[in-house]
Every structure is written in C-alpha cells, then in structure tokens.
C-alpha cells in the first residue's frame, strides 16, 4: 500500500462508524463492476431482489458465508 494510501486509511479509521459506512458506499459506487454482467440499472434491481426473495422463500439454498467470502477475496488484488 502506498504511503499516501496508508495515511488516507489511517485518517478514515478516525471517522465515526456512520461516516466510514458512508465513505465505503461512495468508494464502492465509484468502482466499475468486475464483470459486465454485474451491471444492473435501477429498474433491474427490484426484479433481481424479487427473484432472490422468491428463491429464498422456495427454499433454494443460497451461497454459504464461506463461499461468498472466497468469491470476494478471489476478486481482490493480493497484498
């Protein structure tokens, strides 16, 4: 991590929980999706949420925490 990035992180960690959460949302929103298929319009999100809710109500097993964590970590650059 570059020194300027380390300083930025140090400063960010001094923020309140709410301020850090707001910062995270803004930073994540600024990133392009990893895959073009991950791009959804505002109109598509309610459809996706409904699809996921129906699957959960039907008992379709979702992704385990371990698998979700692995997927996230696999997309992060190595330190």
Q: Report pLDDT digits (tens) over 1-48.
A: 788 999 999 999 999 999 999 999 899 888 876 666 667 788 888 988
Clarify whether residues 45 and 74 are in a common domain: yes
Q: Which pLDDT score, from 0 to 100, does residue 28 have?
A: 85
Clarify whether residues 14 and 49 are in a common domain: no
What CA dihedral angle connects 54, 57, 61 and 62, to 10 degrees? 60
Q: Which pLDDT score, from 0 to 100, does residue 38 have?
A: 65
Q: Which pLDDT score, from 0 to 100, does residue 36 have?
A: 64
Beta carbons within 8 Å of 1's beta carbon, 6+ residues apart: 9, 79
Domain that holds residue 49: 39-79
What's the total number of domains in the chain? 2
Q: Which pLDDT score, from 0 to 100, does residue 29 have?
A: 82
Beta carbons within 8 Å of 23's beta carbon, 6+ residues apart: 12, 15
């Amino acid at each position: 991590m570059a020194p300027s990035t380390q300083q930025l992180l140090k400063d960010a960690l001094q923020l309140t929980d709410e301020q850090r959460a707001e910062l995270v949302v803004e930073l994540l929103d600024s990133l392009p999706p990893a895959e073009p298929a991950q791009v959804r319009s505002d109109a598509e999100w309610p459809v996706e949420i409904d699809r996921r809710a129906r699957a959960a109500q039907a008992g379709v097993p979702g992704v385990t925490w371990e698998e979700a964590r692995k997927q996230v970590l696999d997309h992060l650059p190595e330190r």
